[in-house]
Structure 1
Amino acid sequence: MTFKTMMTGLLSAFVAAPALAQDLPVVGRPHQGGMGFQPASTELARDLQWLDGMILVIITAICLLVVALLAYIVVRYNQKANKTPGTFTHNSPLEIAWTIGPIVILVFIGAFSLPVLFKQQEIPDGDITIKVTGYQWYWGYEYVGEDLAYDSYMIGSPATGGDNRYSDDVQTMLTDAGYTKDEWLLATDTAVVVPVGKTIVMQVTGADVIHSWTIPAFGVKQDAVPGRLAELWFTPEREGVYFGQCSELCGISHAYMPITVKVVSQEAYDAWLAASKDEGWYTDVRAALTN
């Protein structure tokens, strides 16, 4: 990482502070011993979580039915209860039933899952378009049409003055940025900032190897493949801080490549955007990497 790139990240944190004081609730994050999904904060996430629940009910019913049939057969047709075994080799009605039954179940699941898939893949016109590039091992963001670009590193990574290990200095950096110790390995020095209720389109690619950009609470995940430009979209429904991680094994520091998204009011977003531009928070990521 070059000095120019590092200074850009430090400046960005300073500039963003007035417009984004950390009074936002932390909504999307994992919890120790937690089970289930993070709170759904987009329509896509609600659809996916509902679909998961519906399929879980179907799978549970199938498992209970199979276990019940096995128990019945063990009891009814064991050697003591059935001393003379049957000699038949097949049962056409039963074979037809267990062939048609799974087909009906799969068609039923597909009738609900395919619309969710199509909704994910049909990219709407975005109110804000952000290009995200995965690097080893950080993220670069460019706000399309805004002449605004910056890099995002995990707080405590070498780029922020750490060594990927927790220390008092890392705790100080977390506190200064408005995070707690529990959010170490999740929080970044700069965050993706978007307004609530607006449609956000992310253009995702990779600069070196395959990465994956994901925010569980938004129900989005997209591989960042070098040489390809993929898209995802979401419309956040509540203000807050959301965390994600690179979800594709991408090298030795894969575990230290988190994602932070802050969803704010339109007024706070406009103030943040204006302050970022006024203070010169801009760098061409590709140029910075080659200087």
Structure 2
Amino acid sequence: MSNQLCPLIFNQPRFGLFPSVLRLVQIFVACLLVLAYSANVATAALLPPDLKITTRTNALDTNAFANGLSFDEANSDAAIGNATHTGSMVQTIGGTSTTTSVDNITISSGVNPLEGMLTDIGDGWEIHSNVSGNYAGSNAETPENFYDLFFGLENLSATDSIQVTITLDFDNHVNSSGADAFAASEIILYDGPSIASNELFFSDIESDTVVGNRFNSGNRTGDFGGPLDDTGIFQHVVTLNPGDILDFHIFHLIEGGAFAAGSSYSASLDALISFDATNNTTPPTPISEPAILFLISIGLVGFMFRRRIKN
């Protein structure tokens, strides 16, 4: 701003205090800009400190296949003939991911199970699995392969409730072709630690060239073979009252087979389980930005006239 543009401010002696005021305004504006910038810088948001989200040890459940996030090596079956099974499991805590890889029914790298307690919003677990095969002079089969995730939500607060959103982002695909082939993949979220608990969500699809296809039910669709896809996002919201502990189980089964010349199959699942949470307490009402600026303006005007009286 030049003297020519603002002669009333800079050229009249009785307003000689304005340069000092303008410097103060500049300082206040700079501080506000710094605060606004800091508020908008992307930082990792922590889960509420009283919320505990952790993998569970499920020793009391006789129907349980494993603990934590795991591939069930003991109950899964090896591929037969010209067939393959590969998979991976990923655990993310505080933005750092740990991966375990599966080849057929063997853990090829990493640990099994993956266990830990989540710390940040967006932390979670992933399951990825793929099976395929084709008849090559003999049957090709990837028998049942099992993945499990047991996790618990716990509210450690003695006074506050916490609302938790469980998000399951899934891509489920199956395909079969030829005279005799099938492929099936399912993922289920239970509201308890065992497969005897209530189902909150399931994606259960099967492509079968002999008995017909299924899509999320026991009923056949009337189609035989070909690709089926089930993709989406499922969210389950729970409120944990002080001291509440809730357990959940995610179960995944994938399989397929080809039993006649020219037959083939494939199936895959990609699933991400993540969390968001908020305390159900009423925060103090914040002062709006216009109100803050108004208060600063009043302070500056008061300071200006105080200086004028002294002069």
TM-score, normalising length from structure 2? Answer: 0.25
Structure having greater relative contact order (Cα 8 Å, sep ≥ 6): 1
Larger Rg: 2
Relative to the length of structure 1, the TM-score reads: 0.26
| Structure ranking higher in helix proportion | 1
More strand by share: 2
